[in-house]
Amino acid sequence: MTAFRDAALVLVVGLAVVAQSVIFRFVAVDGVVPNLALIVVVAAAISRGSQFAAVLGFATGLLLDLAPPADHVAGRWALALVVVGYLAGRVRQDARTSPVMAVGLVAAMSFVGTSVFALTGVVLDDGVLPVDLTIKVLLISVLWDVALAPFLVPGLVWLVDRLGSYGRTTGSLASTYRMP
Amino acid sequence: MARRNLGQGPTSDGSRRVLGLLVLAALTVITLDARTGDDSPLNPVRSAVGSVVGPVENATATVTRPISDLADYFTTNKSLRDDVATLSADNARLRNEVSTEPLDRKRLAELDSLTRTASETGYSLVAARVIALGPVQSFSRTVTIDAGTSAGLTKNMTVLNNDGLVGRVVQVTRSTATVLLIVDTESVVGGRLGTNSEIGFLRGRGTIGGAGRLDLELVDNAVAPSRDDVVVTWGSDNGVPYVAGIPIGKVESVVSSPRQSSRVAVIAPFVDFTALDVVGVVVPKGTQGDRTVITQGGSR
């Protein structure tokens, strides 16, 4: 059962990574697509806490770094999503109790994640855009994630809850969320 | 702060440790990949992931092609609109060109014959176009041409076109000039009959349409102008206001009443005043201006 749940999680993450580069390129605004992988990580953080989310963020980020369209230094998204997963997990109680907070959390994490990614790019001198353009990309990506969060976060939280609700200590918290 | 988190207090340190490890791992991956460049140890991993994710992406792209077509439909709608706008603008411009082509042809012919007039009469001409017709309300028949002092024009210059005498310049600004047409009631032109060189004065009647006529009063009452006799300008000193030898019109009829001491010949002007376009202004030889001066030897 654990193997199945892990496989399902990998599938969700993989789906997010593929979808954001294949499907959402049709609706890209100035080339910026919603960061579905980041939304998945935030949802996982809301559902299961910072430790789990950080690990999932690392894996998801690594997949983003290595999957075909990527041509940047590997590990940058991994680092960004680790930070996102950890931070999102720290404030998950607030995000659990109100959908507005959840959307706000996605917005904040989107900003943090993209910023961390951009900053590592600056440090590594890898794919750096001018500052004004970077800020524009940052804003569009935050708006994208905020626009999609209300539709995706509840479902993803529910899904991660389901996938992790067997015999885990954090699972009890998830069930209290669904039936307050 | 960590203590506040329900159910996370005991695991907080562990969580932090995990975070530290993960960040370290990420930094390691970054360093490995960034430092080694082309022969990065991550390249095999990259290609392995690519060989798994690539086909998935390919399949997804194939499956979502209808969506892409839909997106294409929306995104190209704007560019199609742009195309339509561009093409209709082009169309309008071309249609305009086609419709003005006879006019341009006519204008060219007028300019051409103006050049011929210059070479026949020996006068230097500045070509100009009629850009405005004086309103009838002001009770004078004037037109405005698009040449002024900058082209070397001054008051009292003769204006003609390829048919004959048009009038004279009465007002000049820098870029325009007002021409008093010979059909104006204020206009008096010295005329000479072509056949017997008898002189007289032509006065306009103030109408410019098909009925626009001039009255020629000959100095010598005894002379009877014959029908279809051509009247040309008489000319004067320095060609002011009219230079000599420009055809004005021909005799249409002769009116003579017993009460009047003189005969009046009705002259039909050669120039069609309602369709004035390109005109030439007779300027002194050697006039300098921002406009081409047509002379006997060509244009300069």
- What pLDDT does residue B7 have? 44
Q: Is the pLDDT of residue A96 over 80?
A: no
Interval B255-265 mean pLDDT:
73
pLDDT tens by residue, B225-252? 888 888 888 877 676 788 888 889 889 8
Q: Is the Cβ of A145 closer than 8 Å to some Cβ of chain B? A: no
pLDDT at residue B154 above 50?
yes
The shortest CB-CB distance from A82 to any of B8, B23, B53 is to B23
Indicate the residue of B14, B26, B72 with minimum beta-carbon distance to A78: B26
Give the mean model confidence (pLDDT) for residues A116-127: 80
Contacts of B6 in chain A (CB under 8 A): 93, 173
Determine contact: B21 vs chain A, CB below 8 A. Answer: no
Instruction: Note the ipTM here.
Output: 0.72
Residues of A in contact with B69 (CB under 8 A): none
pTM, two decimal places: 0.48
Work out the pLDDT band at B12, boundaries 50, 70, 90: low
Query: What value does the mean pLDDT of chain B take?
Result: 79
Write the DSSP string, chain B.
Answer: -GGGSTTTTTTHHHHHHHHHHHHHHHHHHHHHHHHHGGG-THHHHHHHHHHHHHHHHHHHHHHTHHHHHHHHHHHHHHHHHHHHHHHHHHHHHHHHHHHHHHHHHHHHHHHHHHHHHHHHH--EEEEEEEEEE--GGGTS-EEEES--GGGT--SS-EEE-SSSEEEEEEEE-SS-EEEEETTSTT-EEEEEETTT--EEEEEE-S--STT--EEEEES-TT--PPTT-EEEE---GGG-S--TT-EEEEEEEEE--TT-SS-EEEEEESS-GGG--EEEEEE-TT---SSPEEETTEE-
Residue A47 has pLDDT above 70, yes or no: yes
